[in-house]
Structure 1
Amino acid sequence: MALDRLKQPVEGLIHHSDRGIQYCCKEYVKLLQDNSIAISMTENGDPLENALAERINGIVKGEYLDCYEVNSIQEANELLSQVVNLYNQERPHMSIGNKTPEEIHQTNQKTDRLWKNYYPKNRTLVNQ
C-alpha cells in the first residue's frame, strides 16, 4: 500500500522488521528488492529484541502522528523531525525521573533504572 501511494521512487528506504514469516517470504523480499528498499531484520528472532523500537514507534504514532494527515515524503520528514525533537527535548519520561532524554544526555546524569526489565536473567537465544 505504501509503495502504491508513492508518486515516485524514494531513495534510501530501509524496511526494518522482526523475522515474521510474512517479512521473510520470497514474494515480500522480492517486492522490497524490486523497489531498491534495503532489508533490515532483528538479529535473533527474540520478540523482546524489538521491544524498544516498537515502544518508541507506538508513542510517536499514538501521541503525535495520529493527529496529522501527511501527503508527501517531504511533509513526513519535516513532521517526524519535529516529533523526534519534541520527544527528546520537551517530553518528560517517567523512566528517567520525569526528565527529558536531552537533559540526561547533556548533563551526563546517572539515573536509576525506573523501568521493568522483561528479559529473563538467563535467556536462551533462538537461531543462534
Structure 2
Amino acid sequence: MKRTLIHHSDHGSQYLSIRYTNRLAEEGITPSVGSVGDAYGNALTESVIGLFKTEVIYKKSPWKTFDAVEYATLDWISWFNTKRLLEPIGNIPPAEYENMYYTQEMSLAQSTGLT
C-alpha cells in the first residue's frame, strides 16, 4: 500500500505562494487547502501552528536566515510525528501508532482474504 504525505493548510497567503508550493513539491508532499467557511475544518491545523510558533518560532527568535527557520521547522515536525509521546494512544509517538494501525489493517485484510 503506497502512502502519500499530505500537507493540509488553510487559505492563508503563505500557503498559496509559488515558492511554498514548489518546496512541498520538491519534497514529494501533496498540498491540501481546507474548505472556506468551516470553523471546525482548521481547528487542528491552527492548534498545531500555535504550538509550533510557541515552541520554535518565538522561543528561538530572532532568526538570522531562512535556512535556519526551515531546518528548525523540519526538526520540530520530525519530533512532533516520530518522538512526541501521546497519552491517549498509549504514550507512543503518532508515527509508531499509525504504523501499528496499518499493520493491523493489513493483517485483518489478509486474514479475511481482502488482499
**TM-score tier after normalising by the smaller chain length:** 0.5 to 0.7
User: Are residue 104 (structure 1) and residue 104 (structure 2) matched?
Assistant: no
Match of 1:37 among 17, 20, 23: 17
Return 5+ residue gaps in structure 1 as ranges.
1-15, 24-31, 111-128
Task: For 1:68 and 1:93, locate their aligned partners in 2 and report how far apart those are by CA, in whole Å.
Answer: 24
In structure 2, relative to structure 1, the CA distance for the partners of 1:94 and 1:62 (3 Å cut) is farther
Return 5+ residue gaps in structure 2 as ranges.
1-8, 19-31, 105-115
Task: For 2:54 and 2:90, locate their aligned partners in 1 and report how far apart those are by CA, in whole Å.
Answer: 22
Where has structure 1 moved over 6 Å in runs of 4 or more? none
User: Are residue 62 (structure 1) and residue 54 (structure 2) matched?
Assistant: yes
Deviations 1:3-46 (A, max 9, x none): xxxxxxxxxxxxx545xxxx7xxxxxxxx6xxx925x8631401
Query: Normalization by structure 2: what TM-score?
Result: 0.54
Q: Give the structure, 1 or 2, with the largest relative contact order (CA under 8 Å, sep 6 or more).
A: 1
2:42 aligns to what SS in structure 1?
helix
Task: For 2:89 and 2:45, locate their aligned partners in 1 and report how far apart those are by CA, in whole Å.
Answer: 17
| Percent identity of paired positions between Structure 1 and Structure 2 | 22
Q: Would you say how many aligned residue pairs link Structure 1 and Structure 2?
A: 80
Partner of 2:107: none
Q: Mark the structure with the bigger radius of gyration.
A: 1
Query: Normalization by structure 1: what TM-score?
Result: 0.50
In structure 2, relative to structure 1, the CA distance for the partners of 1:56 and 1:95 (3 Å cut) is farther
Measure how far apart 1:61 and its partner are.
Answer: 1.6
In structure 2, relative to structure 1, the CA distance for the partners of 1:46 and 1:88 (3 Å cut) is same
